[in-house]
A and B are shown apart, each in its own frame.
Chain A
Amino acid sequence: MSEMKKIKNLKEFSTSADRFEGANLLCPGCAHSIIVREVLNATNDDLVLSASTGCLEVCTAVYPYTSWDASWIHIGFENGSTAVAGAEAMHKALKNKGRLKQPDRNPKFVSFAGDGASYDIGFQWISGCMERGHNIMHVVLDNEVYANTGGQRSSSTPIGSSSTTAPAGRVSYGEKKNKKDMVSIMASHNIPYAAQVAPNKWKDMVKKIQHGFSVDGPVFINAVSPCTTEWKFDPKDTMMITDLATDSLVFPLYEIIDGHELNITYRPKNVVPVEEYLAAQGRFKHLFKDQYKYLIKEWQERVDANWSYLNRREEARV
């Protein structure tokens, strides 16, 4: 059966053996590597990993180097989920045929992809994997923008942020559309487990990843991944920004079991105003001009409404 790590504290967690090496080309302060490490460190089992084209992929497997001490594959932008689904199907076939080289192992199949590769171009592939019931976990490194290509809007980009294809300007406040609710969409495939996680809440993250590894069937994880380059904050502030994201409830942490049982897994003791979260990032700087301040108010109302919705769902067990 699954072999989950027993982790007592953050020091032990941060110094445990890595299958994702620190030697990579990600920006200083990038949350991707923190999230990947937290996911991989949740298990001692063997791993079959994929990365869709994006920051994680181009920064960790530049020939002749690799940052991965585990089986890893990249095919293209849209199909990382299907790559591990294919590998999972082969594992099943070879297991049934008695041809596995190490039949006693219990590998985990995980695909990592950005929000562009998940919410947009890879949406259909992920939906297919979830619907077919593959024993895989898809983890979105959600930095709400096409960071690898230089900061274009995706369907995860939030209202009012400035990106290179939805820039704030003399007559525009930037992105006009609300972020797609990917966790709900994926949970609606009636998969055994879907959850939103954040790297600052590492115990919550590890618990969810371990739960995801323990269930039979597809798992969807949306991980907030603050991007120092495109969100425009100082690289040393990644965890501070993540704290603001979770404590302002802009990124509420919750899980949905079997498509209907919603549990909120983190309730901040002191809820931070959304304005503080927005003020800490350059991408929202223009919202603080007088003519756009109404958007900050709307932001707060939207976050409050979503929190209320999640609470009502949790209470109603739907």
Chain B
Amino acid sequence: MAFDKMELRDIEVWDGNFAAAQALRQCQIDVVAAYPITPSTPIVEGYAKFLADGYVEGEFVMVESEHAAMSGCIGAAAAGGRVATATSSQGYALMVETLYQASGMRLPIILNVVNRALAAPLNVNGDHSDMYLGRDSGWIQLDAYCPQDAYDLNFIAFKVAEDHEVRLPCMVHQDGFMTSHTAQGVKTLTDDEGYGFVGDFKPMNDMLDFEHPVTHGVQTEEDWHFEHKARQHNDLMTKVMPKIQAAFDDFEKLSGRKYNIVEKYDMDDADVAVVCMGTSVETAREVATEMRAKGIKAGVVGIRVIRPFPFMQIQEALKGAKAIATLDRSAPGGTVGMLFNEMAGCLYNLETRPMLSGKIYGLGGRDLTKKHLVDLFTELQANVDAGKITTPLQQFIGVRGPKLSFL
């Protein structure tokens, strides 16, 4: 091989972006087609610099838009090799057409999404609006809560996406700035360990195999489109989760770090629980511990695998809780938050059917503080004590001005 290995310390101080860039280097991506956008830019800058310094061998195609970035990734992946890129926010929105095309063509591309608000008004800070925009796009979607996760989940992503029984693209989400630009200690794999975990890329239906010409991206009308979509959805719902679990298990054996499809924290005997994603999970865990010291049996459920959505695992995690709040970091635009809807779908058929309320928080990078979560757990306990929901079903946390609530 014509590139050098990099000596890493056991623990490096990396932000989420650099952690993801290092994981891409160690996976030895063949092609990156990318376009810069805050806050994800340092990921592809990192790849470019590794390339320039001879620590990776491949092609970096700096295109003229995010739509072209994913288009180039699709062409490269169909040609038959390991492909990744990164984006955020408006760039993700511009990419949406091609997200559906990538999954419909079953190309195992890895997209690091550094979550950021969507304009208007323009905002560069972290929320989950972009993540929610692509939630029906047919991609596997994993969620990192911190730089360590952003590093580790990239290895998991390649391992799952490139499995020949899966062959679906995969996103690794991390919170803009809160994760992407916050340096923390990150436990590393050696280059050999990292590459060994994902293994060599094994092409399938590759356009560069000229002995077996293939047609990618066909037309299907009412005679075949439904079957195509339904069967792919079925694969996503039935084949992917066991592969993710297996990858988590293998990764734990390699690194000692354990990931779960649903991350339960103090849920065994919890009366009140918060369901959330991203950096908020860690804050909620800290507050839950403090609430327990005050006698409130609090727990936290973090969503690690956003798509395919882990209905069964969530049912299992929440079956004993009495009052649950969902934390959605996206303006739902005329309905309740996505997590509220998904939880309602999970819990409706449970005999215990817990009380469920929805909170919108943190839009455009607004902080979620421990005080907010103390108030929330306290409110949930009040609902438990009253035996009914005593507050509006959907409220905003941390917004200034008049109190806004619906339902």
Contacts and interface: CB of A to CB of B under 8 A. Distances in A.
B156 to A, nearest CB: 23
Contact of A101 (B67, B78, B97, B208): B208
Nearest to B33: A86
Contacts of B101: 75-76
Given A61-B217, A75-B217, A79-B67, A87 B59 contact: no
Nearest to A67: B215
Given A61-B217, A61-B219, A86 B79 contact: yes
Interface string B65-90: 10110011111111111010000000
A76 B203 CA distance: 23
Contacts of A107: 208, 210
User: Quick one: which of A89, A94, A124 has the most chain B CB within 10 A?
Assistant: A89
A127 B68 CA distance: 11
Contacts of B75: 50, 73, 75, 82-90
Nearest to B73: A86
B213 interface: yes
Interface string B23-65: 0000000110100000000000000000000000111011111
A247 to B, nearest CB: 37
Given A87-B79, A89-B33, A124-B64, A102 B74 contact: no
A70 interface: yes
A8 interface: no
A83 B214 contact: no
A314 B392 CA distance: 77
Contacts of A79: 67-68, 71, 98
A74 B98 CA distance: 11
Interface string A287-313: 000000000000000000000000000
A69 B81 contact: no
A219 B105 CA distance: 28
B386 interface: no
Nearest to A86: B75
A75 B217 CA distance: 6
Given A71-B207, A86-B71, A86-B73, A97 B63 contact: no
A97 B98 contact: no
B218 A63 contact: yes
A96 B62 CA distance: 19
B56 to A, nearest CB: 10
B220 interface: yes
A72 B216 contact: yes
B210 A102 contact: yes
Nearest to B74: A75
A71 B59 contact: no
Contact of A128 (B68, B73, B221): B68
How big is the B interface, by class? 35 or more
A125 B101 CA distance: 17
B208 A86 contact: no
B209 interface: yes
A71 B31 contact: no
B319 to A, nearest CB: 43
Contacts of A90: 30-31, 59, 75-77, 79-81, 83, 208
A62 B76 CA distance: 23
Interface string B225-237: 0001000000000
A292 B349 CA distance: 72
A76 B76 contact: no
Contacts of B83: 90
Contacts of A50: 75
Given A84-B75, A89-B72, A73 B67 contact: no
B224 A89 contact: no
Interface in A216-262: none
B351 interface: no
A142 interface: no
A249 B146 CA distance: 65
A92 interface: yes
A73 B71 CA distance: 11
A189 interface: no
Interface in B277-296: none
B68 A82 contact: yes
B215 to A, nearest CB: 4
Interface string B1-29: 11000000000000000000000000000
B213 A89 contact: no
9 contacts: A57-B219, A74-B218, A84-B75, A90-B31, A90-B76, A90-B81, A90-B83, A92-B59, A125-B67
Which 5 pairs show the lowest CB-CB distances between chains A and B? A86-B75, A79-B71, A90-B79, A128-B64, A86-B72
